[in-house]
A and B are shown apart, each in its own frame.
Chain A
């Protein structure tokens, strides 16, 4: 069984702010299932100037009751590859689970691009692919579960992003105000 989902939306913030918030989105109150996050790779591509980041996320394994017997209670590990091109204003994030892959492979691609018509807006595209090989008549259940989980997760991650965006903006304003105060003091 292979299933694809796609959704587009936008944020009313500049791409710089959105990409910053994306890279700093954990922890937030809408992502309490994310327990730990570690950067295992961080480098600048000398040819393209793009920033490559790989993260290892540990999440609680919140599967539905009917799937608990086949999925052990261990935490789930997710790998996230992010490529940020500052020149074109593009951030592409790819995540996939690296545990429980015999049951379910979930890959998610998120693309954040600066809106060419509005510098204060960022376009966001989410693509998710779910592959399951469980069989035993479970596939339709998995399918409907994953569809509801997909929209649930998207709504949650969007709320989390908005929370972090608000924080980032306030912090940015705070820093600007500090600089202005300092400049005023020096004069």
Chain B
């Protein structure tokens, strides 16, 4: 499956491959060590820049005011609208 930005697709595929393997071989067997953190971080760096570029960060942030949200912390093109709900 393609990423929203084709620039990020290779990094997404790397993470997806790691995740799929980890899910079936580790997580489902009860092993809770998160092995795909590094691949995820690389992918997120690309993805977050792409979402910001497309002006989607604010929309996503507002749609999910959940605690621990990946968009609740740092990068803001959201102009401080976070938590304004």
Q: Which residues of A contact B (CB under 8 A)?
A: 16, 19-20, 23-24, 26-27, 34-44, 49, 51-52, 54, 56, 58, 77, 79, 81, 84, 86-87, 96, 98-99
- Are A77 and B59 touching (Cβ within 8 A)? yes
> Would you call the interface of chain B mostly helix, strand, loop, or mixed?
helix
A38 to B47, CA, bound (A): 8
- Are B23 and A23 touching (Cβ within 8 A)? yes
| B interface size (C-beta, 8 A) | 33
Which B residues are in CB contact (< 8 Å) with A49?
Answer: 32
Which A residues are in CB contact (< 8 Å) with B27?
Answer: 51, 84, 86
> Would you call the interface of chain A mostly helix, strand, loop, or mixed?
strand
CB distance from A140 to the nearest CB of B (A): 28
Which A residues are in CB contact (< 8 Å) with B63?
Answer: 79, 96, 98
- Are A27 and B1 touching (Cβ within 8 A)? yes
Which B residues are in CB contact (< 8 Å) with A20?
Answer: 20, 23-24, 28
- Are B64 and A86 touching (Cβ within 8 A)? no
A70 to B16, CA, bound (A): 37
